[in-house]
Amino acid sequence: MDLATFLIQCLNSVQYGLLLFLVASGLTLIFGIMGVINLAHGSFYMIGAYMAYALAPVVASTFGGGFFATLVVGFALSIVLGYLLEWAFFSFLYEREHLQQVLMTYGLILVFEELRSIIVGDDVHGVEAPAILAGTLPLGDIMTYPVYRLFISGVCLALALGMYLVFTRTRLGMMIRAGSTNREMVQSLGIDIQFLYRVVFAAGVAIAVLAGMVAAPVSSVYPGMGSQVLIICFVVVVIGGIGSIRGALLAAMLIGIVDTFGKVLLPQAAGVLVYVLMALILLWKPDGLFKAG
């Protein structure tokens, strides 16, 4: 493997890792704050990707907008979706056992998949990157790297940074952190914990949807993508350690590297490699790389 190819795979690893980190963050956020394990989180990613495909013509004809307009519209829709879902469904899951949450959200996956099948069908679709981002950057003499992939990494980084700042620097973030450790106390302080949870949930959904939308031009849009990303997110959390953001980032990067280089070097074993990585890490650290913190 020459330097240019190596560099390309490194950049791909980072891009994939950051995307995983973003989606996994949404999952851990909802679990960490509200104690709900949401299997349908992968479905939001899938919904995002299908939105990128299905909304584009609608946005083009109504507003005359392009890719970015679709992103904005999709993002707004996802917040509404998240808000409604929390109110109608997830708020009932908070007090339940994990097993019940697992099963109910699993049922939700089936519902989402079929609704998508009924509304948009089961075909695989491609989504075009917007013209400004469709170019490439030169890498060395012969190779080039797609600008769009750098854009994805950029968006993920920006969102991650944004989340970090909200959590640590804003009052909202402080309330969220307080609410996760002591629900009753936060309520007695007059803060509407229900509203808080709704906001957090909507944010989690919006992040996953946005990730799906942004990733669509690169990963294409297909029915099984939700389940696939969900399970990999689980592996991220398992490797990283439950409740650890640092761990999730490191784990996502590791998975990005193993998966990307694996596909190039050992294409047949590529699917298994991530799990072998997980098994090895569990051998070494049964609770994952970092404990909650």
Partner 1 sequence: MNSRVLFVLCAFAALLAYPWVGGKFGVDLVNKIMIYAIFALSLELLVGGTGLVCFGQAAFFGIGAYATVLLSPTAEAGSLCLLLLASALMAGLYALVVGSLSLRTKGVYFIMVTLAFAQMAYYVVHDTPLGGGTDGIYLNVKPAMGQLIDLEDPLVMYQFTLAMLVLTFGFLAVLLRSRFGHALAGIRVNEQRMRATGFATYPYKLAAFTLSGTLAGLAGFLFAVKDGFVNPEMMSWHLSGAVLIMIILGGLGHLRGALIGAFAFALLQELFKSEAVFGALAKHWHLGLGLTIIASVALLPRGLVGVPAQIRERLIGRSSRRAETPEVNHER
Q: Which residues bind partner 1 (CB under 8 A)?
A: 31, 37, 92, 98-100, 102-104, 106-111, 113-115, 117-118, 227, 231, 234-235, 237-238, 242, 268-272, 275-276, 278-279, 282-283, 286-288
Contact 55, 282 (CB under 8 A): no
**Percent helix / strand / coil, the chain, rounded to 5:** 75, 5, 20
31 vs 148 by CB, closer to partner 1: 31
138 vs 224 by CB, closer to partner 1: 224
25 vs 70 by CB, closer to partner 1: 25
CB half-sphere exposure, 246, CA atoms < 13 A: 6
Quote the least distance from Cβ 104 to partner 1, whole Å: 5
Amino acid at 63: F
210 vs 230 by CB, closer to partner 1: 230
Quote the least distance from Cβ 245 to partner 1, whole Å: 16
Quote the least distance from Cβ 269 to partner 1, whole Å: 7
Quote the least distance from Cβ 236 to partner 1, whole Å: 10
As a whole number of angstroms, the distance between CA 49 and CA 280 comes to 33
In 3D space, the residue among 39, 47, 42, 37 whose CA is nearest the CA of residue 22 turns out to be 42
E strands of the chain, at which residues?
Answer: 136-139, 143-146
Quote the least distance from Cβ 230 to partner 1, whole Å: 9
71 vs 274 by CB, closer to partner 1: 274
Tokens (6 digits) for 125: 């679709």
In sequence order, the 6+-apart residues with CB closer than 8 A to the CB of 290 are: 240, 241, 244, 246, 247, 250
